[in-house]
Structure 1
Amino acid sequence: MTGRKAALAVAGLALLLPGAAWAAQAGGAFDPDAATDAYMATLRGAARAKSDAYFEGGYWLILWGALVSIASELVILRTGLSARFRDWAERWGKWRWLQTMLWVLPYGIVSSLIVAPWTIYTEFVREDQYGLMNQTFVEWLGDAGIMLAINIVFLAIGLAIIMGLIRKFPKSWWLWGAGAMTAMAAFAALIVPVFINPLFNTYTELDQGPVRDRIVAMAESQNVPAEHIYLFDASKQTKRISANVSGLGPTIRISLNDNLLNRTSLPETAAVMGHELGHYVLSHVYKMIGAFALIFGLLFFAASRMVPAMINRWGSNWRVRGPDDVAAIPVYMIALGALSVVMTPLTNSIIRWNESEADAFGLDVAREPDGFAQAAMRLSEYRKIEPGALEEILFYDHPSGRTRVQMSMDWKARHWNELSPESRAAGPGRPAVAAPAAAPATTP
């Protein structure tokens, strides 16, 4: 088909197909800004107000969550509970590392009970109010109990290591501690997909069919192992759509949840899975571990200066003997909790940069700009679609919906001449048309 005939075909489709008129301009040109605005216009009224309210409320949850956590640690210190837990651990544990691990058991239970009202509100009540929760309270409580047990085990091991380093290297423990935390994060990433996630959801091989064929074709085009593609039953807990790449080394796996499979079209699913392949190919798991090694170093360095000063000022009232006392752990938690709030924009930005890279990769591999845009619009159920620039920098750990739709439409404009007339005509109100199963190999 000649260029003139192709342009006429697209213009004809724009006249015939609802929602596609924005796609074809004079001479078959495509305006990505107008297309982005058209997508934004599909979310309005009560739905947009609800989405904005949910996400903006999360801004305050960051601050209030930190304050609740700090208040919990202060209760444990000022009531003398931390010192009592230490005294009990010293009676039952011969070695200091064992004393630390024993101390964690009552600490983990009591601190969780203190913040239980806050946890129930933020993780169950609020999710249910906004229509995102599929569990009953009893079901949610069961999962929360399992997670508490897991957290206590990991916390006991982690704190035993960190407190050991504080005692052995009182001046430079923050540097050794950052290395230890990085190693522990890598170990957690290694075992979570195989041993932890299956405690909450059932993971099965994705059935043969168009979705699996499409994912396998994209994976093979990028030399990504595709023997195993997992589907997990997230719908038993939430209405959210999601997919992920998880694990480290031999346990890295690509998974999608059943909400994504059941609630989206093939182009949307392909676009999302192309994004997940991007995380794998671009080695984001390893890059994130490296980036957070630096974050751990900054946090621990600051805590190494703050905690001794706090103990010098209030330690006698708390019956804390010094920075190397296991009873001082709540003091470290207060310092790290406050510092983490300050670091939120930085940690969000690190994650968001990786997510943006994966977005670009996914567009090149899946070649589904409208599928990706439509998936981004679906995420508006729980993400504010159109924040201000500073708002996105401060509070978003993923690109906003508008940013993602704009990226998709910019990609569509750059590749306009490569797309079929049906793909050109896709847009708000019109489902995307699936691209060929085997996308061309790319190196974004």
Structure 2
Amino acid sequence: MILRYLAIAMVAAFAILPTALWATIGSFDPETATRAYTDTLQGAARDRSDAYFEGGYWLVLWGTIVAVLAEWILLRTGLSARFRDLGERITKRRWLVPALYAIPYVIVSTLIVLPWTIYTGFVREGHYGLMNLGFGAWLGEQAIGLGLGIIGMALFLLALFAVIRRSPKRWWLWGTGIIAAFFTIGIAIMPVFVSPLFNDYTPMEDGPLRDRILAMAEAHNVPADNVYVFDQSRQHDRISANVSGLFGTMRISLNDNLLERSTPEEVEAVMGHELGHYVLNHVLVLVVVLSLIMGLGLFVTAKLAPRILARHGEKWGVRDIGDPAAFPLLVAILTVYLMLMTPAQNSLVRIVESQADAFGLDAARQPDGFASIAMKLSEYRKIEPGALEELVFFDHPSGRTRVRMAMDWKAANVESPVMVVPPAPEAEPEG
């Protein structure tokens, strides 16, 4: 009789439990848990996210057309030849001419594509609520980038045309090594010399969260004794973090948006992912594989460029492939090649990102933090693409893919897992 009354009482109690609490009781189903997260992005917010990301597909094509058109203008108008002539008037040292050529080349080509850059980098970002800078401040950052581009291009052309002159038939092979070296140097100097030109980096305040990040780093032999916060909210509201640098320049950094918009569990999930990139040597992997992709592009360019110059070089004022004035042609061929290689490049990056996701889940052990941060990243990344769409256009796993990975990890690694029902998103203001 007592057991019967207890049973009736338990049934009555369960009958009045809130739906959200009932969802946490019983067997854990990763698919149901995944859907609970993905369903929080609905209505206008999902439409905006999908429209922004899908618009990027067309930007790949139109960006290629704009870039090729800019290089064609430099060749067709003879501007490229004039830049070379200017360099030859300034110096009699042939090896130095490509570096001098780079200065007007970078400036003029930047001005030609400036309307496109303003649209894609400022107007479109502002339209989707992803830009916090005013136009003047944005233009100032572009000017800094222009200065860095001139220096980098001058050094690159100096090295590239040196190997073209010395090995006209196999310059593409040596050029691949030059690209790999520039990739490596860029990664090494970026956190110390370049990033501080755009943002202020300050040590993260002492506290449990900083201690947890450094403990994860120490547990995986990441040589870091500090965590830096940079003020990226001045540019946009996106969440970002990185473990960057080489050869003693390595640092752990996270932006202020991550701290202000995320819970400690979400921050731990993100930093576990970023530590994964370092531990799994993804920088080295990306440098090697991307250099090989560029090497194939240089090989294709080395085969096509002489044939095109044989037909059009004289009217462009370009002497041969060793002439710095031929550089716009090399860029145009490579630009088309890289557009065609977009699926391969995206798949490469997506694979290493997925590996870092798996590492981060093991390191931070915050599956729900990882799932909820994936939803915040989906504010500007299409959350549920088709399989082919994700393969071709996504350089990171989609939001749904990432949430499902987290829920599968939770089912396999958490004892008696319960499903978390995320809170409904706040209603957007009208008007």
Is the alpha carbon distance of 1:238 and 1:35 closer, same or farther for their aligned partners in structure 2, counting shifts above 3 Å?
Answer: same
CA distance in 1, matches of 2:335, 2:363: 40
Q: CA deviation at 1:42?
A: 1.1
* Secondary structure in structure 1 of the residue aligned to 2:243: strand
CA contact 1:42–1:428 (8 Å) conserved in 2: yes
- Greater mean alpha carbon deviation, residues 119-128 or residues 306-315: 306-315
1:137 to 109, 123, 135: 135
Q: CA deviation at 1:220?
A: 2.1
CA distance in 2, matches of 1:153, 1:192: 14
1:244 to 239, 242, 245: 242
Q: Partner residue of 1:434?
A: none
TM-score with structure 1 setting the length: 0.90
* Secondary structure in structure 2 of the residue aligned to 1:240: coil
Q: Partner residue of 1:378?
A: 376
Is the alpha carbon distance of 1:32 and 1:150 closer, same or farther for their aligned partners in structure 2, counting shifts above 3 Å?
Answer: same
2:422 paired with 1:428: yes
CA contact 2:224–2:250 (8 Å) conserved in 1: no
Identity of aligned residues (%): 55
CA distance in 2, matches of 1:271, 1:354: 16
Q: Which runs of 5+ in 1 are unaligned?
A: 1-8, 432-444
- Structure 2 letter corresponding to 1:181: I
2:409 paired with 1:414: no
Aligned length: 414
- Structure 2 letter corresponding to 1:157: L
CA distance in 1, matches of 2:47, 2:158: 47
Q: Partner residue of 1:438?
A: none
CA distance in 2, matches of 1:312, 1:374: 57
* Secondary structure in structure 2 of the residue aligned to 1:337: helix
CA contact 2:33–2:419 (8 Å) conserved in 1: no
Q: Partner residue of 1:441?
A: none
2:283 to 267, 282, 285: 285
Q: Partner residue of 1:351?
A: 349
CA distance in 2, matches of 1:37, 1:316: 62
1:99 to 86, 97, 100: 97
CA contact 2:40–2:424 (8 Å) conserved in 1: no
CA contact 1:369–1:412 (8 Å) conserved in 2: yes
2:313 to 299, 302, 315: 315
- Structure 2 letter corresponding to 1:261: L
1:146 to 130, 144, 150: 144
CA distance in 1, matches of 2:137, 2:160: 34
Q: Partner residue of 1:56?
A: 54
TM-score with structure 2 setting the length: 0.93
Q: CA deviation at 1:394?
A: 0.6
* Secondary structure in structure 2 of the residue aligned to 1:417: coil
* Secondary structure in structure 1 of the residue aligned to 2:92: coil
* Secondary structure in structure 2 of the residue aligned to 1:191: helix
1:164 to 149, 162, 165: 162
Instruction: Render the CA deviation track for 1:313-341: whole Å, top value 9, x for unaligned.
Output: 21112111111111000000100000010
- Greater mean alpha carbon deviation, residues 36-45 or residues 400-409: 36-45
CA distance in 2, matches of 1:120, 1:159: 27
CA distance in 1, matches of 2:14, 2:263: 21
Is the alpha carbon distance of 1:311 and 1:41 closer, same or farther for their aligned partners in structure 2, counting shifts above 3 Å?
Answer: same
Q: CA deviation at 1:226?
A: 3.1
1:391 to 380, 389, 399: 389
CA contact 2:214–2:226 (8 Å) conserved in 1: no
CA distance in 1, matches of 2:105, 2:15: 64
Is the alpha carbon distance of 1:215 and 1:430 closer, same or farther for their aligned partners in structure 2, counting shifts above 3 Å?
Answer: farther
1:77 to 75, 84, 107: 75
Q: Which runs of 5+ in 2 are unaligned?
A: 1-9, 426-431
